[in-house]
Homo-oligomer: A and B are copies of this chain.
């Protein structure tokens, strides 16, 4: 059994339609590659009790929770507080995190102030997640991995974090394009899916120059079974 995961995207800007999130899609691809099964994604607003509840629910339900957003220096950055409360640990400025920020601001020639120091507040017992882009670290508290929302920073943090997590069997997938309407594919495809309960088969319809078709995607962790099912699918619907 592969480890399971959820992603929690935190931010009013996603729910108000201002920003189109890309971290969910990026993380989904990375997790499939390392064999961690993404079971749920949630987007919640910058509201303390809502974040606390979501972190509690998801960290209880999955092996890993990845959060995105809300760890900067401004008043709307409340993720560290909410995660600390959800996990029942105190939050305070930590020396190593402060030193990382201090060194960064010295290089930049700007001063550490109260707002910037907020980013050195780390829940007790957490492991830092490296931020090679703008220094302010993320952190892991037990199974909750807290990362920045800015996609470039989120992606760099994920790259640093994943090698430390134990993955499973990567999710493999193959797809096959059929130029018939889904209504004609559905019957034989359901029969095929029933004889491969270890694989998941999805049908994704498209329309092209007025003709209907569907991409059939077969997913699973056993490449032999996947290949066998795909061969049978191609025999049922020859090109």
**CB of A183 within 8 Å of the partner chain:** yes
**CB of A55 within 8 Å of the partner chain:** no
Chain B residue contacts of A232, Cβ below 8 A? none
B186 touches A75 (CB 8 A): yes
* A contacts with B: majority SS: mixed
Per-position 1/0 for A90-119, Cβ under 8 A of B: 000000000000000100001001111010
User: Looking across the interface, which residue of chain B has its beta carbon closest to that of A210?
Assistant: B108
A interface size (C-beta, 8 A): 69
- Given contacts A74-B190, A183-B116, whether A19 and B200 have CB atoms under 8 Å apart is no
- Given contacts A21-B25, A40-B43, whether A184 and B113 have CB atoms under 8 Å apart is yes
**Of the 9-residue stretches A8-16, A124-132, A138-146, which lies at the interface with chain B?**
A8-16
A110 CB to closest chain B CB (Å) equals 6
B17 touches A25 (CB 8 A): yes
